[in-house]
Amino acid sequence: MATVVLARIDDRLIHGQVMTAWLQYVGANHIVIIDDETASDDFLKSIIEMAVPREIKLHIYHCEEAAAEIKKMSDDEKLMILAKVPESFLTVIETGLPLEKIIIGGMGANTKRTKFYKNISASDTERESFKKITAHGTKLVIHIIPDQQAVGVEEYLK
């Protein structure tokens, strides 16, 4: 099975920070996006495909199918898994793909979210998903860019 070198929640999915800082930092050769909306939108998928360097493989999956598809991947795959919301990762974990650590990156403010940590916002549902993810034994940290220190989320989930 492939090695997960980074699992990151970022509602922007593919953007400069992911492509320049994180991709190089973790040495991924394959990006997997787990998001039902994106997997169902051919136009959005084509835009994302254009943003990913040609030497990097890309797959975009619905949440329910992602764990099974990732388990089929070869051992030489180094995966960067991206999802817009924590519920996507929770589904992947609950459908059979254990993850050691998930990074909370960009989760911007919207009408359903309130401030979680500095410029990170989360809804009540997302906070519950964070708790469920950690209950599965997955470490959850806030880590915006590689050269900054990661921050644990335990105290923010009380």
- The string of DSSP codes covering 61-118 is E-HHHHHHHHHTS-TT-EEEEEESSHHHHHHHHHTT---SEEEE------TT-EEEET
Domains of the chain: 3-157 (3.40.35.10)
> What is the residue-averaged pLDDT of the chain?
94
Percent of the chain at pLDDT > 70 equals 100
d(CA 109, CA 115): 7
Where does the pLDDT of residue 145 fall: very low under 50, low under 70, confident under 90, or very high at 90 and above?
Answer: confident
Task: Give residue-wise pLDDT tens across range 79-126.
Answer: 999 999 999 999 999 999 999 999 999 999 999 999 999 999 999 999
Q: Is the pLDDT of residue 134 over 80?
A: yes
pLDDT of residue 34: 98
Lowest mean pLDDT among 16-20, 80-84, 128-132: 16-20
Average pLDDT over residues 63-83: 97
> In the numeric block, which tokens belong to residue 32?
């997997």
Q: Which residue has the tokens 């999915």?
A: 13
Residue 58 — φ and ψ, nearest 5°? -140, 130
Q: What was the pLDDT predicted at 19?
A: 77
Res 104: pLDDT: 96
pTM exceeds 0.75, yes or no: yes
Q: Give the 3-state secondary structure of 4-57.
A: EEEEEECCCCCCHHHHHHHHHHHCCCEEEEECHHHHCCHHHHHHHHHHCCCCCE
Q: What pLDDT does 46 receive? A: 96
What pLDDT was estimated at residue 18? 73
Please say whether the beta carbons of 121 and 108 come within 8 A: yes
Query: Would the CA dihedral through 21, 27, 30, 33 be positive or negative?
Result: negative
